Amino acid sequence: MHIPAVFTEDNFDNIIEFIAINPLATLVAQTKDGIEACHIPLFWHNDHAKFNADVGSDSASNKSQGYLYGHFGRKNPIYQDALTNSSWLIIFQDSGHYISPNWYPSKAKTHKEVPTWNYQSIHIQSEIEMLEDTGTLKWILATMTAQQEMISDNPWSLNDAPSAYIDAMCRGIIGFRLPIDSIQAQFKLSQNKTVENINGVINGLAELKTNDAAEMATKVANQNIG
């Protein structure tokens, strides 16, 4: 991924927080029939790792940065057709937001501004490891569910369903984990603009009065001012 230096995010805690907030990942694999992709929610788990590798490094030692976990439906061909001993690309991103040049005060003076798009994106490379025992599958499901059910006052858990039903559902899936071999993270949030233009972006977004715009305005403010 091309990342201008000003947009590089190398704080591992920020990256893991972003993954937790945006868990739906795009998994891309090279298969015998070409490139295949699927969309699956994942969660990060440290597995008692020691975080001593640099974010952005391609070193295999970056496996010390924990694992991503998820599961496929057994009818999903991607894991069956993926080439062995090949890297997968895992992409996390938000929806971002359009940024109008009209929001920059400098535009009114020079007219030397163009539209752009603010967004956050993380690329992780990994070699996948399949996990099939029922106990591990239940742990993956329970952990992912607990993370997502935090939004509820009455959270659902695996114990709410009959154990025989959960066992049957587990027979229809295969779990996996993805050791983090390398990370690239880009948080493009107007860092390349002057303070005047950054404030213009925040104000322009606020005037739209939408949830997405308000969220982006907060991100821009936190990144550059907060």
Residues 6+ positions from 140 with CB-CB distance below 8 Å: 69, 70, 71, 131, 175
DSSP-derived letter for residue 75 is: T
Strands (E), the chain: 24-31, 34-41, 43-45, 67-73, 88-93, 97-99, 116-126, 129-131, 173-179, 182-188
Which pLDDT does position 54 carry in this prediction? 45
| 5-49+63-97+117-191 maps to CATH 3.60.20.10 | no
pLDDT per residue, tens digit, the chain (226 aa), is 999 999 999 999 999 999 999 999 999 999 989 999 999 999 999 876 544 444 554 433 444 689 999 999 999 999 999 998 899 999 999 999 999 999 999 988 999 899 999 999 999 999 999 999 999 999 999 999 999 999 999 999 999 999 999 999 999 999 999 999 899 999 999 999 999 999 999 999 999 999 999 999 999 999 998 6
Residue 40: CA atoms inside 13 Å, Cβ hemisphere, count? 26
Q: How high is the pLDDT of residue 65?
A: 86
Give the model's pLDDT for residue 61.
Answer: 41
Hey, is 19 helix, strand or coil? helix
* Residue 63 DSSP class: G
Alpha-carbon 121 to chain mean position: 7
**Could you tell me how far CA 171 lies from the centroid of its own chain?**
27
How far apart are alpha carbons 223 and 8 in whole angstroms?
12
Report, in angstroms and rounded to the nearest whole number, the Rg of the chain calculated over CA atoms. 20
Could you state, in order of their start, the residue ranges of all structural domains in the chain? 5-49+63-97+117-191
Torsion of CA 25, 94, 144, 169, to 10 degrees: -50
Cα–Cα distance measured from residue 69 to residue 128, given in angstroms and rounded to the nearest whole number? 10
Q: What is the reported pLDDT for 101?
A: 97
